[in-house]
Chains A and B, each alone.
Chain A
């Protein structure tokens, strides 16, 4: 099994990406309540940035990812262009899906992000298909599918794990356990809160990691991705983390115990990783300040790009239903 111990450069890059993802999503949070700024509900992964960067770090460009409704961090960590991503979230014609997908259904072919789905639990069966195709074509690539603890209650996730294990597919299941499914706490919606333990039911390796620690996520992801890549079948990683901003920006989080929330805010991965790397001498305080300035600038540029872009033309809504438009040329 190949294990990549992150070197200083990788760790600095992870911190920088986490700072950028946070800045990107904080800006979405600012824009969300403004009238007509963003179509649809903004679902942010604030507090879960370490999972995104830690899982993506050991992947190769040919690997495939399938993600869920809380996808901005995954896509940015994977290398998606922030300007066209922001424009898409704003529903603009310059968006990566020309304003057809919005925040919940982003597809970024440039980084092999086959699909994001707002339908909870929908991704894993498709990931089985993609991993099958990789195995059948004898590619060295693997598929990584993200889902939450909420999705772990869906029957489709069981169907996917069972078949991936039977067929020994190169598929890494990444469960981001953020302790909430809507307004249901882990204890309320999950009989056994340890999702990784389910791996043994499918005869695949399962590993529970601290999802707020990018080093630990990276190390586990690297090991488990290696397991998949070596043709030894699927694996399951559970990254235990916390949903700091509620299900979506509309969520008042009135059901959340304030003490619990405060406890997790103190473990905010962006802050704690910065402190850790500073203490270990990997970065200086000025480096972090410069990463934050740079992130702010890039987010400004992305927002300006999106806001100055036109909306799609009405007739574009009739395109791409089938290979030929059933309506004829609009």
Chain B
């Protein structure tokens, strides 16, 4: 097994799926000869040619629409938005068409496309280059919303997303693109969409998170064990929608105390849905109010204040302590 960054792992997934299936297409702005803004699609054009790795004009609505048409006609497009903040031009095509065509056609047509986009903060980029708006997509029936947290699960989830018969929005935490390396098997590996995982076992409190924030949570969990002797269980959602509420509900019933952490704005975010499910399924097991450690309901600030906005280690620790002290 080779140690890979998330960028390399995602590239591996694309390479292997394109090799395996000549219906898999990659398209987007500068994904070809430039290899993408973050070089995620590096070397794909050399290997598969411009017929399958397509540099498109600057036309996000078009890119999403082109992909839907390809998918309706039997191909498996993987399109890239340079940054998730540019995907709102594409929103119409995604929510009004990609998400609805299976229903309208009673399953006669479906839209097996993936829309990849780097998302989230922590790289000192401005506004649209740093935001975390997964809730827009997760709120749309018919779309699947996936956010990996490590190189290995990014690779495995992207393979699943490409093979999935429905449209998948695949948000890549750009802060993690080259943050660390992980062993990624050369052999094929998939992870089921719609399943979360236990990233760390513990008995005292459950922290539910995903994406880049998961790593702040993991660090906070280590420190809480060292400093307070508290054993934190960490759940990594991996898929935001359809949401796996079994695993975290089971954990919450064991620990009785829950914190949800994400960098997206607080209100109406994924955390709110997680808490609603906990209330529905596990209310009588909860020993403290569920706390949210999140971004704020503002546009993500410039880099001088970005670290205050993002739910870092200290804020997660504080949230856990407050929950335990209740």
A29 interface residue per 8 A CB criterion: no
B67 interface residue per 8 A CB criterion: yes
Point out the residue from B25, B54, B65, B100 that lies within 8 Å of A160, measured CB to CB: B65
Query: Bound state CA distance, A35 and B102, in angstroms?
Result: 30
Cross-chain contact B51 with A109 (CB below 8 angstroms)? no
Cross-chain contact B51 with A133 (CB below 8 angstroms)? no
Cross-chain contact B96 with A163 (CB below 8 angstroms)? no
Select from chain A the residue with minimum beta-carbon distance to B51: A136
Cross-chain contact B166 with A129 (CB below 8 angstroms)? no
- Given the known inter-chain contacts A129-B65, A160-B62, please indicate yes or no for A322 contacting B70, CB distance below 8 A: no
Query: Bound state CA distance, A125 and B98, in angstroms?
Result: 12
Cross-chain contact A122 with B93 (CB below 8 angstroms)? yes
Chain B residues with CB under 8 A of A266: none
B61 interface residue per 8 A CB criterion: yes
B229 interface residue per 8 A CB criterion: no
Query: Bound state CA distance, A143 and B72, in angstroms?
Result: 12
B69 interface residue per 8 A CB criterion: yes
Point out the residue from B56, B105, B141 that lies within 8 Å of A163, measured CB to CB: B56
Q: Which of A131, A155, A326 has the most CB of B within 10 A?
A: A326
Point out the residue from B25, B71, B93, B104 that lies within 8 Å of A125, measured CB to CB: B93
Cross-chain contact A114 with B72 (CB below 8 angstroms)? yes
Query: Bound state CA distance, A143 and B66, in angstroms?
Result: 13
With an 8 Å Cβ cutoff, the count of chain A residues facing the other chain is 42
A253 interface residue per 8 A CB criterion: no
Chain B residues with CB under 8 A of A167: 54
Chain A residues with CB under 8 A of B77: 129
- Residues of A265-322 contacting chain B, CB below 8 A: 319-322
Cross-chain contact B62 with A159 (CB below 8 angstroms)? yes
B68 interface residue per 8 A CB criterion: yes
> B-facing mask of A117-157, CB < 8 A → 1, else 0?
10100101111111111101100000100000000000110
Cross-chain contact A126 with B96 (CB below 8 angstroms)? no
Query: Bound state CA distance, A160 and B67, in angstroms?
Result: 12
Q: Give 13 new A-B contacts, CB below 8 A, not counting A129-B72, A321-B103.
A: A105-B104, A107-B104, A124-B65, A125-B62, A125-B69, A126-B93, A130-B70, A132-B66, A156-B61, A160-B66, A162-B62, A322-B166, A326-B242
Give 8 closest A-B pairs by Cβ, nearest first.
Answer: A129-B69, A125-B65, A159-B62, A133-B73, A126-B69, A159-B59, A129-B70, A130-B69
Query: Which A residues are within 8 Å of any B CB, using their own CB?
Result: 64, 66, 97-98, 100-101, 105, 107, 109, 114-115, 117, 119, 122, 124-134, 136-137, 143, 155-156, 159-160, 162-163, 166-167, 319-323, 326
